[in-house]
Amino acid sequence: MKKSLIALAFGTLGLGIAEFVMMGILPDVAKDLGVSIPVAGHFISAYALGVCVGAPTLILARKHPLKHILLALVTLIMVGNICAAMAPNYWVLLLARFISGLPHGAYFGVASIVAEKLADKGKGSEAVSIMIAGMTIANLFGVPLGTSLSNAISWRVTFLLVGCWGVIILYYIWRWVPHVEGLKDTGFKGQFRFLKTPVPWLILGATALGNGGVFCWYSYINPLLTNVSGFSAESITGLMVLAGFGMVVGNLVSGRLSDQYTPGKVGTTVQAMICVVLLLIFFLSPYPWLSALLMCLCTAGLFAVSSPEQVLIIRVAKGGEMLGAACVQVAFNLGNAIGAYVGGLAISGGYRYPALAGVPFAMVGFILFLTFYKKYQAKY
């Protein structure tokens, strides 16, 4: 495995902890700041909205070397998470989470292009999946570690850990990522030209709605597992490891299958699976080990669609690849924000209902993916 791809994965590892750890520490943050769990869910949405704002601004840096852009984005990751660690109240933490989200989509956009350029011939999807693997490993080890630190010491230590990890990311990107030839500058308007066709909108729509369906459920996974499935608070760390394991396996298997078959075929199949699993979670979550198994399958599906989506958007965004790659992360996190909000509304019916609320979103995501696969996959 190339060291350059590992360095890029270090970055997504930090981003993964920053984004997903909030699900595991949500009750601790809510208690410390004196807000309800649904209100604390706003910190998830704030991060996601930061992604949506930050990613499009990437076009302003399109003339700069890709490596330099990566280093600047990592610096912003450090600043945002250190501010979150020191936040004295709800509003400051909300702002800090927004700042933390600003570099997320832009980092994925640049890192995806760098990974494809560094990949061996015919291994582009696998290279992108390795870059994304940092985020899945974050959920396997980083998020459980952050949850444990939150329970044992304070949730603030978790965000401080991410800020310090940024120093390591900076060093290894500087050391291991070579200079990569930049993309052809098609001008400001040229960056948006690919959005005039329906193809990218199908991918972005499938990403936003498909992932939104999962985040309706996953944003409130902690109270579901403890209040419905009957797991103890102490077992949540182990369950988060299981969820992370599903993400790692789903992502890496998907990357290889996408090179062997097509990203569109893999993405469509996995999205259909997610619809079924969310429905089963609603009905079977009172049974502890079935709930744990379904959680693992659903998180595997969440990241099994990520590599295909990231690869496809680069292929269809000719002339605006960097913006396109960032936009798919905007769509992912817009889905995250919508899912967290809708899931919070559905909690009024009980902690099982966010999963049910996610099914229609996931189903529309599947329909959009299927439409892309049937009509346009052969061109890409």
The pLDDT of residue 82 is above 90? yes
Distance CA 356, CA 280 (A): 9
Q: Give the number of other CB atoms < 10 A from CB of residue 232.
A: 8
Does the pLDDT of residue 12 top 80, yes or no? yes
My answer on whether 256 and 322 are in the same domain is yes
The three-state (H, E, C) secondary structure of 326-363, written as one string:
HHHHHHHHHHHHHHHHHHHHHHHHCCCHHHHHHHHHHH
Q: Is the pLDDT of residue 155 over 70?
A: yes
Place of tokens 């500087």: 174
Q: What is the pLDDT of residues 278-298, one digit of tens each?
A: 999 999 999 999 999 999 999
> Model pTM?
0.82
Q: How confident is the model at residue 123 (pLDDT cuts 50, 70, 90)?
A: confident
86 contacts 300 by C-beta, under 8 angstroms? no
Q: Which of 138, 162, 182 is the endpoint of a domain?
A: 182
Out of 137, 163, 182, pick the residue that ends a domain.
182
Task: Mark whether 203 and 287 lie in a shared domain.
Answer: yes
Q: Please give the full DSSP string across 230-289, using - where no structure is assigned.
A: ---GGGHHHHHHHHHHHHHHHHHHHHHHHHHS-HHHHHHHHHHHHHHHHHHHHHHTTSHH
Task: Label residue 237 by pLDDT band (50, 70, 90).
Answer: confident
Q: Report which DSSP code applies to 64.
A: S
Model confidence at 1, pLDDT cuts 50, 70, 90, reads: low
Note whether 176 and 222 are same-domain residues. no
68 in the same domain as 154: yes
Q: What is the pLDDT of residue 260?
A: 87
pLDDT digits (tens, 9 = 90+) for 191-200: 888 999 999 9
Residue 116 pLDDT class (50, 70, 90 cuts)? confident
Does 256 lie in the same domain as 111? no
Q: What CATH number does residue 364 fall under? A: 1.20.1250.20
Average pLDDT on 145-172 reads 92
Q: What is the Cα–Cα distance from 50 to 73, expressed in whole angstroms?
A: 13
One-letter identity of residue 42: H
- The number of domains in the chain is 2
- In this predicted structure, which of 79-93, 113-127, 270-284, 343-357 has the lowest mean pLDDT? 113-127
Q: Which of 30-34, 132-136, 323-327, 352-356 has the highest mean pLDDT?
A: 352-356
Domain check: are 110 and 127 in the same one? Answer: yes
The pLDDT of residue 151 is: 85
Instruction: Tell me: do 235 and 88 sit in the same domain.
Output: no
Q: Which residue has the higher pLDDT, 366 or 36?
A: 366
Q: Is the pLDDT of residue 183 over 80?
A: no
Task: Return the ∠ at Cα 114 (arms to 117 and 17), rounded to 5°.
Answer: 140
Do 178 and 199 have their domain in common?
no
| pLDDT, mean of residues 307-317 | 90
Residues 210 and 178 in one domain: no
Same domain for 130 and 24: yes
Domain that holds residue 213: 187-379
| Averaged pLDDT score across all residues of the chain | 90
Task: Examine the domain organization and report whether 100 and 150 are in the same domain.
Answer: yes
Is there a single domain that holds both residue 175 and residue 271? no
pLDDT band at 80 (very low <50, low <70, confident <90, very high): very high
Domain boundary among 182, 207, 239: 182
